[in-house]
Structure 1
């Protein structure tokens, strides 16, 4: 059973229009009155409103006199209700979805109605509210919204005058969701491959939105696909120049400069890291903290001691291969491995974190979490307090 089949009435307007009644698809060609179908689409698009009959008359019978138009409206709504009833299986409740009262018409979008516009708006708002404090839940809401967006609002009705403004509204909402999703995938989920795929799809609909190009370039950098990032920047710069006589913004150019900087690549290049005892690790970090420079730490945490013991050797071997020669790692506790990332800002830390996560086998990914954080050492906190703060407040893969 599809998601839509679980509802008495299902209306999808993002992308090609699709109507289902108790799981039965109602093809557009089966409508005896095209205006009845258009009124259904309009009421669904304005699901939060009650529409005066005068508005419907002006929109669909603007050339008729008022009395004739009123009769036509009444007859068309009757055909609309009749069509919905005809597709309702015998023995099933036939809810009065199209309501009328006090000269107003509306779609009764209750619990037994699936309306993609309504769910898209709910998921979009939820992702916005949760983005700062609960990014994992925000990402889930973003992905739910993207799944609902199958394309432009009423894609088959591009020339409907009343649909243009609504189409533009949902298109902008879609782009905001794409950018929010990509940011969360890069910064919290460490999944640049999925972020790149989402951005590439969005660029087919909005090829000149610079924030999308920036996110895509960031995704390529996170995957260490530097040639792809450079090629994409060059293609975007060329298109922008030929179409508008403009150049990419300074923010976009900085991304390219980072890629071309040999020092940047050297900073994330894996060599052989040192593995040491906790006492040596803590003493080294204490000396570094005394310099008042930002301190970048990465942690791999287990919840189960049996799993931690089982994979200790594999984790230490992976860290040795994935980290750089000036990095330092230790088994801080039976459940926690901690790494000091030398000469690393947040961007470098995320790239290394992604590299480690990618190298984890499926079993390891299911039983451990990875954190990273850049700390200020001005407050003279103990190293143990910083590590505790990172694992308690950090957001792990």
Structure 2
């Protein structure tokens, strides 16, 4: 691909992923894009809608809806003329890239220009054609395709509605290319290559969970369990912070695999997955280690600044009627029973941790103070209803979590 383009040094080359660039040979024609803003916006629009014949009125409506032109056809004809002069300068071909047909303008179907949009489509089709018969060749072609994708389609025009469908299409195509390449590499047990590929695609698509799963699984296969755990901590925190999503079942499974490959686990966000237990517990409140609770608490404080959603922190203290601490066997029994009541009483999304031998902390999102008081009263009622522990008393306090 690169050799062919270099051999045609006078061919117009158009790059649209990650940044917009039009060049012929070593000369970048789009360097003065700010000074020729209208020309290049028209160029981008025609390239995006290549294969379509577009009327002048439609072009103006999509590109400059706030402008009022008495003669839109004449104004557009002038822009196209200037654009042709700019594009065809130093060209050895007599074919203009833009032609007029049936009252509208169209990007010439037989244009000799090289376009990364068309190239990545062609490479994906080629890879699929040879995938079953020649996986080695398919992997090579997939790699060429994903190398072309440097980021979002026309990022400097991301707020233009006409860009969105094409941008989404190629983002999905890129994700398919990467996933299919990683699948082939996994079938060939090429784990070090999976690691290299993933580290490069994280720059472009940092929150695509499948890529991170392939990456961590490959690290485990390469006996780099510590690195896999570190990455797990990073990506689960990032997904929660940026997107507000908790680890999927697949993420929890890779955590268990990593945990089984070593004796030591630091108490951080990864411990959440270990505490979840059986799948049926997914529908109940989440019990976690105190360090994990502290970590989630910090994330919630940061999220409060953006979401505005109320979150309450509640403290339950197990004691005697005279405010003393019960004997250890009694305290342990009371704690286990209270945790059971909490899981049965609280909602999915609420978080529970045993803070110390005699105290339990709760994080209750999306409530008012009155609703929080009602929750605590219901906990007290359910505990007394199901368990008769004599002089054991549950004392509770609640207050809102304060944003950072």
Could you state the TM-score of these two structures normalised by the residue count of structure 1?
A: 0.58
Matches within 5 A, 1:149-298: 149-188=149-188, 190-243=189-242, 246-261=245-260
- CA apart distance, 1:70: 1.6
SS in 1 for 2:14: strand
Whole-Å Cα distance in 1 between the matches of residues 165 and 239 of structure 2? 26
- Residue 27 of structure 1 pairs with residue 50 of structure 2: no
Whole-Å Cα distance in 2 between the matches of residues 111 and 36 of structure 1? 19
Structure 1 segments unaligned to the other structure (5+ residues): 264-397
- Residue 50 of structure 1 pairs with residue 53 of structure 2: yes
Any conservation in 1 of the 2:123–2:145 contact (CA below 8 Å)?
A: yes
Whole-Å Cα distance in 2 between the matches of residues 40 and 245 of structure 1? 38
- CA apart distance, 1:200: 2.5
Once the two structures are superposed, residues 156-197 of structure 1 have per-residue CA deviations (whole angstroms, 9 ceiling, x without a partner) of 333334223322221222122122222222222x43223222
Matches within 5 A, 1:1-397: 3-5=4-6, 6=8, 8-21=11-24, 23-29=26-32, 33-65=36-68, 67-88=70-91, 92-110=92-110, 112-188=112-188, 190-243=189-242, 246-261=245-260
Whole-Å Cα distance in 2 between the matches of residues 96 and 68 of structure 1? 24
Any conservation in 2 of the 1:13–1:117 contact (CA below 8 Å)?
A: yes
SS in 2 for 1:51: coil
Q: 1:144 to 1:240 in 2, by over 3 A?
A: closer
Q: 1:243 to 1:81 in 2, by over 3 A?
A: closer
- CA apart distance, 1:243: 4.9
Equivalent residue number for residue 274 of structure 1? none
Q: 1:165 to 1:176 in 2, by over 3 A?
A: same
Any conservation in 1 of the 2:116–2:148 contact (CA below 8 Å)?
A: yes
Aligned residues: 259
Any conservation in 2 of the 1:57–1:70 contact (CA below 8 Å)?
A: no
Once the two structures are superposed, residues 94-150 of structure 1 have per-residue CA deviations (whole angstroms, 9 ceiling, x without a partner) of 322111110121112436321110011111233334434432232122111112112
Could you state the TM-score of these two structures normalised by the residue count of structure 2?
A: 0.57
Q: Which has the larger radius of gyration?
A: 2
Once the two structures are superposed, residues 340-370 of structure 1 have per-residue CA deviations (whole angstroms, 9 ceiling, x without a partner) of xxxxxxxxxxxxxxxxxxxxxxxxxxxxxxx
Q: 1:87 to 1:230 in 2, by over 3 A?
A: same
Q: 1:238 to 1:107 in 2, by over 3 A?
A: same
Whole-Å Cα distance in 2 between the matches of residues 30 and 256 of structure 1? 48
Structure 2 segments unaligned to the other structure (5+ residues): 263-404
Root mean square deviation, CA, Å: 2.7
SS in 1 for 2:211: helix
- CA apart distance, 1:67: 4.3
